[in-house]
Chain A
């Protein structure tokens, strides 16, 4: 506590400090609703003295891409993280991009080059931890705490308190109650670690991310509005506790220091999951040599298109893939036809695809060639999936909540200079608040 007071005095005016609290998968609309109900008094007070607004996430609207866009301030065509899965170059084998695949400097890399210290806790897609001027422990998908954490002393501390890198989602298979218990204990230990480093580490840039919100939403979204759901109370109570934590963080930060809250995508009820590879199979675009393919290694060479999660379409070109079948001259017609057919795709008499983008409409940069050829976004409630072993186009899975690209949240205890905000703008905003200029970002500062 003493260290905390000392530090606050030493940084009077807060000119070189920024605090960021990430809340994975939290929709702005949900926060507004809870504020109206009086369930989040701290956030409500913060909204009075700053800007609480909705924000667009990255495309695709998954945590790895969205947080990577946040932490670099550039589009996936430059940072290289298009999703949780890729195929290893020149093969059909799975690859799972991690921090080694991130090709742009992060906010803390840049801050470090300007002599600033950072504390970076639990941001998805930062595993394994890379060296930095400060402290980092990685978020999802992190496998081993030691490799997830830099430096060693931070690892020793986290190990000592029994830090959990993530909610053990396998508990969901036991019961909703067991999962709630897991979410609860992960949230508690996360808060403890965040506050510890906030108080005891030296930093200019502090970023702590709560990911329990995303797990809560995926598994228990149906508990939100169903008063009879056994976890309904837990869901609401979780948000009250989150509000308590926001209040605690803000009290430590103070009005003078810029305080940002953001999420990486929104959430909504899943009406149906849409299995795009099953649709491609039905249309004759995709063929496997087995009934139950395990990976795209089981795909037949004559296949024209395949999908990686959530809705990244890859045209099986001769140029890009060892067994590709689509010639350069066929590419343009094929992608136009695909877009048309996708926009017309109906399930139970309703359209499911809201928009389809060609790669050049979304991405630019050195890694543009690694981009998906088309990316689709659904109408709300349809969860687009890249599963390869489904034989129906739509169905229900075990998750009740799914991501939305719109309705992510952005908060800052100041005014902002524009209305339409995208997650790509948050990094440049932070750098500008730290008075670090001369960066080549794709996003622009909001202050």
Chain B
């Protein structure tokens, strides 16, 4: 299983390559030790920024669910380092977004205390609630770097439903690249516009302030860094980091035989299912992923994905498979290109509706891993149940509006040699809001949160279990809810002969529930059955002891054990050679 990790010999080769790269650039002062020390220090600066943001953020979506990323970019807007816990997809779209903002506000015109903002889906991360804020950092009066933050904020106005917008205008406020702060002074007009257009201005503006404040911490630390290592140290380290990372990625790609690897999958979409087709073309040390053949963009469902989001998810899937241990930065991305026909669901054109693009983007890795499974079976993962979204809002006993956002997950896909974990976020990385916190934030009673038996995709290594959540209201209260499920029709796919996870189910009082906002009234129960992860490999080759243990714990029913796994019966041990 660990064959993908590097061995000593390979490291030594790369070592030679390193000194080569460094000499090429005439940067003899950046030996492997200096570079390591400075790189690690830059990374710790971003961890400090991360800490500052988490501790001052207002919304649970930033403070607790951690749906954000903070990264450092060089003065050209190329990414250098990120905080360790940054949400991965954001880190891929922040650099290009920063450069687009700089096209509007050239670097040479920026001043200390400026902060840029936009949430344009075609610049940022594909839907309006993702705010991107870029703060230039000056050292001794000279632009040295940027600290950029992407964060999912609590509300952006627009329709409450998740899917029914016909264009992006219906989805809320769109802020073009703008100056949020000018030389330390807030752009009052812009703040007012935001305040007037979002439902929870306290949370939204509280988070925006926290983002700018945290970036300031990064600025202070970067100036200390420059004080220790020189004004241009960031630029030098950034270049070295990118070149080394690029070389490592190229080496990992170079191992894959040149060919075109293809895979097609279907996912729920909204009114119509979405078809995704990935054509992974490996040529030498580069990869091109072409999504030609995928569904056209939809005008009746907010499930469209802009190209920079498609690219971000392509990069993420490939990084996890090829160089999981390397720190993330733009060097890794250079050898990878993403192509999709304009007007397709993975390259939506303005002003297509995009609010719920994760219904598309969160499936992209499955198409890629399906394509690479035959050639890299030890580096890919079966499909995951992934997250659903539950939004509750209303007015609390004090007459104050409340909004709670809960993001529960299904089971994770299996990999070769390991079962998928139960209820784990993938490809996102959010935490579940505890029932006790939820009940303290809204008039809700959580009746159940448990593992969902027989939801795990069968396999030599099975998928992770999904979960069952049942919600009611407290006392006589009513709560407005918007639930966004996924994989109700098309489950998380298995891989290499593994079975799919169980599809999800969404029920109100035991009956079907339409996918639009509704009011949960006193006495009613909404039930969410989240999908399981896909399995890896032929279920009939599963280790009998693991199967027995699954049956004993109730994760796999005796019926499924016999039918799908071919166990002779729960009491009887399968023959030894079954494994």
Do A and B originate from a single complex?
Answer: no
